[in-house]
Amino acid sequence: MKWALVIVHNSAGAKLWFSDGEPIGAVRGGSESSHRLIIDKQGFIDITLPYSSLPSFIDLNNTATMCPEGLVNINLTLPGDGSFSFFITPSIPVHFTGTLKPLPEVSDDDASFLNEMIDSCYVPYQDIQGAPGKDVAEIKALGLRHFPFSPHSFQMAMAVYDWTTASFARMVLMKIFEYTSIPSIPYPLDSPSVATAIWESNWGSYVPSNKFYMNSFMMKPASTLQDVQDQLHDVEARLQRFSTVQNRLLGAAFAAMPRTSIFHAPQLFSGQLDMSQLNLDQFGIEMLECPLNAGPTSQSLTVSFTAAMATFVKVGSIITTKMVWSFADSIDIAKHYQNGLILVVNPPDNDSWVWDGASYITPLSDDPEKNEYTFAPGTSFIVESLDVRDIDEDERNKSVQFLTLKLHVPGSVRDSRTPSRPPLNNIPARRSSGPKSNHHLTNKTGGRRCHCVDDAERN
C-alpha cells in the first residue's frame, strides 16, 4: 500500500519537511514503513504502515484507521497548537485527531562545546578502520535532512556519527562510573575504575599505546596504569563535561530520528558487556537504581551480577540506564558480541505502533552496514525475566544469560475511534545470516573482541 500527503491546512505557515529528504507530496509507503513529518517549531508526526497483512492500517502518532488498498491520500490539518487532525480518501471522510511529538532542544553552549572538540580534533574519532566513514560535508547534509528544525543540526548529526566510532568508549565509561545518586554537579567519578578500564582495553588498535585511542580520552599514549591515572587527573573535569555534552546531544538527536514499526522489529537484541575490559559484575552499575551510586566514593562501582539480579534488577523492577544502549533487530548480530549476556527488549504495553524509545541510527553511522538501534540515557525498562539459554555460536553450543526487558513509557492518549494495536504474539524475531567480516571490525560493539575475530586470530 502507498500513501501521499495531498492537502495540508497549515494555518501557522510552519515549514514542513520529511526526514527522508523527499518532497512533501511524494508517494510513500510499503509494509512496515514509517516516515517522519517535521513541523518547524511545533513537533513531529510519524506516518506508519504498521504491517503487511490485512486489514490495512495507516497510523499517525498512534491514531490509526483502516484504509483501502491502493494509493491513500492523507488530508492533514495543522492548527499550530500542538495538535493535528486528518482524514483519508478514498474513504468516508471521518476526521481523526492526534498530538504532535515534541521537538528536542539543544543549547547553544552544548553546540559550542562540541565545536571546540571538533576544532581540537577530539571529534570525530581520528582513525576510522575498516569502514568507509563520512566526511564533514556528508555529516552536515545528513544533519540538515534529519534535524532541519534546529540551528544545531550539524552538532546533533556529528554526535551520533561519533558514537558509532570507537569514541563510544569515552561516552560509556564516563557515564557508568559516575556516582549519580550524590547530588553534585558534576557527579563524583570513580576515577580509578575509569583509568583501569582505559588501560585494560586490548582490542585491535584500541589500546593505551595507540595515539588515536588515547586522543579520544584527551590523553597521550601511555605505557603504565599510573601514566593513565596521572593523565586522567589532569583532564578529568573537561573529559567528564565532554561526555555529558555528547550524551545530551545524542539524546536530542535520538528523539528526532524517524521511528521504526514494531512489526518490522518485534524485539531488539544486544550482546553485553560489549567492551572486553568490562565484565558482568559491572553490568549493574549501568543503572541509576544501583545502590552504589550513592557512594561512598571510596567504594568502587562494581556489583556482582548475581547480587544485582537478586535486588534492583529482579523481575518486576524498573531499571533506568545511565548510558546509551545499542541494539540490533537480529539475535544473530547480538550473539557475536555477547560476553555472557544478551539483552532482549520488547515494546511497551501501550498502543504505539512504532518504537518511540528506540532510534535506528544506521543512516548516520560510519558504516552503512552497521545495524544499530539506540536508547538514550535515562530510558527505563521493566525487568520481565532472566534465564539461561544455549546459543549456537560458530557451530558450538554455549550457555548465555538472557535478560528480557520491556520498554517502560507512559501509555499514549489516542482517539477513541482508532483501533488498538494488535498483539505481537506469533510475530517471529528477525534473523540475519550474521554480520560480514568488516562489520565485525567496525561495529560499535567492536569495542570488545567479536568472537569471529577471536577465532580468526587463533587459526
pLDDT at 442: 38
**Cα–Cα distance, 375 to 270 (Å, whole number):** 11
Q: Cα separation of 83 and 61, whole Å?
A: 11
Distance CA 258, CA 48 (A): 10
Q: What is the CATH number of domain 268-458?
A: 3.90.176
Question: What pLDDT is stored for residue 276 in this prediction?
Answer: 82
Cell matching residue 58 = 495507516
As a CATH number, domain 2-99 is 2.60.200.70
d(C-alpha 190, C-alpha 176), whole Å: 9
Q: Which three cell numbers stand for residue 15?
A: 515549514
Q: Which residues, given as ranges, of the chain have pLDDT below 70?
A: 52-55, 393-396, 410-459
Same fold yes or no, 2-99 and 268-458: no
Cell output for 310 = 537478586
**Which H, E and C letters describe the chain, residue by residue?**
CEEEEEEEEECCCCCEEECCCCCCCCCEECCCEEEEEEECCCEEEEEEECCCCCCCEEEECCEEEECCCCEEEEEEEECCCCEEEEEEECCCCCCEEEECECCCCCCHHHHHHHHHHHHCCCCCCCCCCCCCCCCHHHHHHHHHHHCCCCCCHHHHHHHHHHHCCCCHHHHHHHHHCECCCCCCCCCCECHHHHHHHHHCCCECCECCCCHHHHHCCCCCCCCCHHHHHHHHHHHHHHHHHHHHHHHHHHHHHHHHCCCCECCCCCCEEEEECCCCCCCHHHCHHHECCCHHHHCCCCCCCCCCHHHHHHCCCCCCCEEEECCCEEEECCHHHHHHHCCCEEEEEECCCCCCCECCCCEECHHHCCCCCCCCEEECCCCEEEEEEEEEEEEEECCEEEEEEEEEEEECCCCCCCCCCCCCCCCCCCCCCCCCCCCCHHHHHHCHHHHCCCHHHHHHHHC
Q: What is the pLDDT of residue 438?
A: 35
**Amino acid (1-letter code) at residue 423:** P
Q: Report the pLDDT value the prediction gives residue 211, as an integer from 0 to 100.
A: 97
Each domain of the chain, given as residue ranges in start order, spans: 2-99, 108-256, 268-458
How far apart, in whole angstroms, are the C-alpha atoms of residue 403 and residue 269?
10
